[in-house]
Each structure stands twice: as structure tokens, then as C-alpha cells.
Amino acid sequence: MCDFQEVVDAGSRKTFFVNYGIIDLKQLNFKIMWYKSGQEFKRFMDAYHALIIGSGPAGLFAAMQLERLGLDRIAIIDRHPYPAGGLLNDGKLNFDYRVGIDLDELQIDRDSAQRLMEEIRQVFIHFPKCKQVTFVDKNKTIEALGNIAKEHDAQFIAPEQWHWGTDNGKAVVDYLRNHLKKTELLLGTAVTSIVKHDDNTYHVSCSHHRKKVCYATKVVLAAPGRSGAYWFRDVATKLHVRHNFGPIDVGIRLELNRKYYDAVTDIVYDPKFIFRTARHGDRVRTFCTNPGGRVRVENYDNFKLVNGDALSGRKTENTNFALINTIFLTEPFSDTTEFGHMIAKQFFLLGGGRPIVQRVGDFREGRRSSSSTFNSATRHFGLCKATYHATPGDITLGLPARIIDNLWESLKKLDKIVPGILHPSTLLYAPEIKFFDTHFITNENLETNVKGIFVAGDGTGKSRGIVGAGISGIIAARGIYKKYF
């Protein structure tokens, strides 16, 4: 907690004593110096109208919106030295209200969702490297694929899609950053705690190059992404911000020779097949397809997850996509984040610090994959060369039986819709887990039960992807402006 005894006028550097509680936050043209009981000067504290935690799409679009509304003294804090969040990854954009957002969670209807999506779309389509990859209007092949999927009890969704590729990640971030004229970027700065003061301002303590810094703000917008979700949950609990647990998506990433999936991905870049399993009645879906892409690892503090991306310029011989099972937990344990962490840590141990990979050929025979036979020509494993060096092993050791049942049942159906998916060489990587399960209870402005604390993006359960994160950022920014300025 910061204790303040002295304020320094930023222009004249004239020092005068105040009780911090009486400072009018509408006149924030000063810096506050933090003295600790008569000791020498420790540090400055800047005061902001709105402080955004996280420079991913939720944070960036929120800042852009606040600027457009005329607000100044805005800052984005990010623990990384480059303002990007998940924007550096792949960049497939889905413009369809059925993908990446939950209308109930955002308390908007379809028309509002499409309008907000159009605002995001207008920003991205003017980025020259962003190319349209799925055209849905009057597309007979999409209709035909939908019918085949229906025959196998699956739903097929083909949204309008655009893509820029990981190799254009920095360019897209620079492009977005150029839209910001008044927002300060406080980078390489990790927020450690948020404390509410009696005068309804927040003191946000951070660590910057191992030094402690502290900022004051009227409003906090937390958009910490999936990697910051666990951290923010603890901070929010201390502030008495209410949350509950939604379902969590747990599954695997498939990597296969792209010739088996090209017939579909040439038409729909990132096809969405949704299954309801017969055995358990659970929902399984395909997600994040990367034709000609690579399997990637997502680093967390105590474990690693698999993910995937594609470059725009250089393509591999493979295609990868996620197959994930939506898991709901009720009594007596509903903490889906903890459940996901347990699975992820188990894989981390079993794989010796790396994700596990198993060939479909080995999986079918109920045996683990091993380094000695991993590329066996006699078993036709050479047809799919792994793009990520995971530990050959057995994915059934780390995933609960119900999830394995659901994934395998869905894969067999998918193999009927798109024959060849289950070639023995196909690789099954685990774990793929999506941590957007902690849901903060908010009003239509995305303000929590604690006044002045707003949330947006994947880490707070408000989105599942770049477009959705951007939409939630815009909604929160409009809410902030409407209520506080």
C-alpha cells in the first residue's frame, strides 16, 4: 500500500504537503512523490483517469475507444516490454457473432455484436497484411460441407475470416499502436497489487525492472488475458470483486499431413465442427486451425500448453487444429481453473517439462509413442513430420477418461466427414487448455460489483479470441466514459 505525504507540481517542481485524499482527480496535472516516514525520496506516482492492465486486443481497443471519446490521462500497463498480448500470434479473425464471444456474458444482442464486430473489422482490414481467407457469401461448398457434417450429427460453422500470420505480428501491433495518440504505455511493468483508497481512487502497485512503482487512477480496466487470469483472480478477490467459474475447454491439438484437410481449409480457413458426444452428452469442437502451420508452445509459470499458428510467407507440409472438450464442474468442486492447472501440471511432469505427443497409430494400439519409433517408415509415420519437439508418450495418462472418450468419439466422426484425419502418422499433442473460465460478474458496461473496476478480454471470461477481446474492450471503454466522465 502506498502512503503519500507530499505532492510535487510536475511543472514547477514546487513541493507542498497535502492529504492525498482531498486531491481532485479531475485536475490530474501533477505527479505525486512518495516519501516513506521522512526518508529520502523513493519514487514518483502518476495519476490517471483510466489505467488499463494488459496491452492485448482488449486493452488496445479499450484505449482507442477512450481516446475517441475524448478522454486523456490513459495508460496501459503490461509486464512485457512490447505492447502486444496475444496479437503476436497468428492473427486469424472470425467475424461472426457465433464465434469467440458469448452474447449473454456481454449482455448484447446479435445486432449489437455484429455492429461492434464491424468496428473491429474496419480497423483490421485496413492493415495491408491482413487478408481475407474465408468468403462465405453464396458459397455452395460451405453449404455442402454443412450437409455432410449434419449427416454425422455434427454442426458446421464457417465465419467470414481474415488472417495476417505470426510473421506480421509486430507490424500489426505497430499499426494498432499508431492509432493511440494520448495513451501512455507503461511497459515491462508487472502489476502486483491494486488497493482501493478511501477517496475511491485505486493505487496500482507494480514492479518495473525490480523496482517498485505505484500509480493512482480513478478507474481500472483489467484485461490481463489468459496468462494473467490466475493472478488477477487473486487480486480481485482481495478487492471483493465477485466471480464464478464457467466451463473450461480441455483437449488436444492434432497435427496431420495437410493433404488430408486441404479440401476443407481451401474453402474455410478455420472450419468449426461442433459435436455432441453420444456417450457423455458433452460438447467437443474444432478450434484454431492453421493450414500449413506449426504447433507452438504457450508458456505459463508452472507448465506449458500446446497451441498453433501459421506464417503468412512460409508454409509447412502440415495442418494443425485444436479439438477441445467443454467441461462443466458443479458440486463439490467448481473451480475449473484449478482443474485445468492440475491437468496441465500433470502433463508437465509426465513430459519432463514439455507437452506430450502421441501418434494416432500408437494411440489406436493403446501404447505410448517413443523416440525410437517416432518416425518409423514401416508404420508410415514419416507422412507427418512434427513441427514441434514434444515428448513422445501417452496422452491418456494425463487426460481424464471422460475427455479421452469424448475426443476419440468426435475424431472418429470427423474422420468420416474429412477422410484421412486419423491416418496413423497424425500427431496428438496435449495438453491444449483454454483458460477463459473465470467469469467476473458485471453489468452491461463490464463494470464489476466494485465501483471503478472494469474487466475485458479472455482472462476475465468476456471473450475467446482477438475479435471478442476487442469488442469487450470497446464495451468497457464506453461504460467507463458514460459512468465516470
Ligand X SMILES: Cc1cc2nc3c(=O)[nH]c(=O)nc-3n(C[C@H](O)[C@H](O)[C@H](O)COP(=O)(O)OP(=O)(O)OC[C@H]3O[C@@H](n4cnc5c(N)ncnc54)[C@H](O)[C@@H]3O)c2cc1C
Give the separation between CA 314 and CA 220, rounded to whole angstroms. Answer: 41
Residues contacting residue 6 through CB under 8 Å, at least 6 positions apart: 15, 16, 17, 18, 32, 33, 35
Complex with ligand X: residue 307 or 325, whichever CB lies closer: 307
C-alpha grid cell for residue 482?
458514460
Which CB atom, from 264 or from 469, has the smaller least distance to ligand X?
Answer: 469
**Closer of 272 and 296 to ligand X (Cβ):** 296
32: β partners: 7, 45
Name residues contacting ligand X, limited to 51-80 (CB under 6 A).
Answer: 53-59, 77-80
Interface region with ligand X, contact rule CB under 6 A, candidates 15-23, 220-228, 255-263, 276-284: 220-228
Is there binding between residue 191 and ligand X (CB under 6 A)?
yes
Q: Which stretch binds ligand X (CB under 6 A): 63-71, 140-148, 243-251, 458-466?
A: 458-466
Q: Is 457 in the site for ligand X (CB under 6 A)?
A: yes
The yes or no reply on residue 469 touching ligand X (CB under 6 A) is yes
Cell reading at 84:
502486444
Shortest Å distance, C-beta 328 to ligand X: 21
Is residue 231 near ligand X by the rule CB under 6 A?
yes
- Per CB under 6 A, the list member of 255, 282, 298, 432 interacting with ligand X is 298
Nearer of residues 351 and 459 to ligand X, judged by Cβ: 459
Give the per-residue contact string, 300-329, with ligand X (x = CB under 6 A; - = no).
-------x-x--------------------
- 337-366: contacts with ligand X (CB under 6 A): none
Q: Which is nearer to ligand X, 226 or 359 (CB)?
A: 226
Q: Does 89 bind ligand X (CB under 6 A)?
A: yes
**CB nearer ligand X, residue 229 or residue 267:** 229
Cell digits of residue 162: 481474415
- Which C-beta is closer to ligand X: that of 435 or that of 481? 435
Angle at 190 between CA 433 and CA 175, to 5 degrees: 75
92 binds ligand X (CB under 6 A): yes
Q: Which is nearer to ligand X, 282 or 298 (CB)?
A: 298
Q: Show contacts of 480-485: CB within 8 Å, 24+ apart.
A: 480/50, 480/62, 480/66, 480/71, 480/219, 480/221, 480/445, 480/447, 480/454, 481/65, 481/66, 481/69, 481/71, 482/445, 483/445, 483/447, 484/49, 484/218, 484/219, 484/452, 485/49, 485/69, 485/71
Closest to 180 in 3D by CA, of 26, 59, 10, 31? 59
# of chain residues touching ligand X (CB under 6 A): 38
In contact, 152 and 278? CB cutoff 8 Å:
no
Q: Which of 165, 246, 459, 461 touches ligand X by CB under 6 A?
A: 459
Task: Using CB under 6 A, list all residues that contact ligand X.
Answer: 53-59, 77-80, 85-86, 89-92, 190-191, 223-228, 231, 288, 296, 298, 307, 309, 457-459, 463, 465-466, 469
